[in-house]
Amino acid sequence: MAIEELEIKDQLGYRYMTEADIKTVLEIETLSNPFPWTEQNFIDCLRKDYYCLIQTHSDGISGFAIQSIALDETHLLNIGVGSNKRRQGLGSDLLEKIIYASEAMGSNKIFLEVRASNVAATSLYLDFGFKQIGIRKDYYRLPEGKEDALLMSKSLKKDWKNRFFNN
C-alpha cells in the first residue's frame, strides 16, 4: 500500500447518515450516475432504517453507502465516493465497512446490481470477491434508453458470534 493511501485512510471517519447530509450526498450521487437517485430516495432509505453510512474525511463527506439488511441477506443499494477523492482506496474502505456490518448483523450473503458499463464499480466488487451471478435486462433507466445490470453476490463469513463473544 502506498504511503499516500495510508495517510488518506488515517483521516477517515464513519457515522450514520442524517437528513442534513443528503444535500452533499446528492452532489456525489448526481456526478456519479446517469440517472441519479433523488432526494426522496435517500429520505426513504433513512425512514426505512436502512444501513445508511457516511464516510467523512478531513474536509467533509467523502462517500456514502446504503444497504438493506433483511434476515440473513443484505442488498447493497448504493455506494459512491466524491469524484475528487476516487482511486485512493476510499471506496474499498467503505465497502469493507459495509461488508463488516452485514456480517456482524448475521447476513450470509450480500447482493448488488451494477450497470454493465460501470467498470470502476465492477472492478472494485471483483477485487472484494463478488461473483457475477446473473444479468437483469434493461434494469437501469438512462437519460436515453436503458442498460442491463450485472447481478453480483458474495458469501459472507458466518463467524459473527466471534465478533462479540470469546466463548
Ligand X SMILES: CC(C)(COP(=O)(O)OP(=O)(O)OC[C@H]1O[C@@H](n2cnc3c(N)ncnc32)[C@H](O)[C@@H]1OP(=O)(O)O)[C@@H](O)C(=O)NCCC(=O)NCCS
Question: Residue 72 or 96: which CB sits closer to ligand X?
Answer: 96
- Work out how close the CB of 138 gets to ligand X at its nearest, in angstroms, rounded to a whole number: 16
Question: Residue 78 or 107: which CB sits closer to ligand X?
Answer: 78
- Work out how close the CB of 161 gets to ligand X at its nearest, in angstroms, rounded to a whole number: 29
Q: Hey, what amino acid is at 75?
A: H
Query: What is the torsional sign of CA 49, 53, 58, 61?
Result: negative
Q: Do 116 and 135 form a contact (C-beta atoms < 8 A)? A: yes
Select from 33, 48, 34 the least CA-distant residue to 17.
48
Question: Residue 139 or 160: which CB sits closer to ligand X?
Answer: 139
Catalytic sites, residue numbers: 113, 125
> Which residue is nearest to ligand X, using beta carbons?
91
What is the binding site for ligand X (CB under 6 A)?
A: 32, 79-81, 86-92, 114, 118-121, 123-124, 127
> How far lies 108's CA from each of 84, 98, 156, 157, in Å?
34, 13, 5, 7
- Work out how close the CB of 92 gets to ligand X at its nearest, in angstroms, rounded to a whole number: 3
Q: How many CB atoms lie within 10 A of CB 99?
A: 21
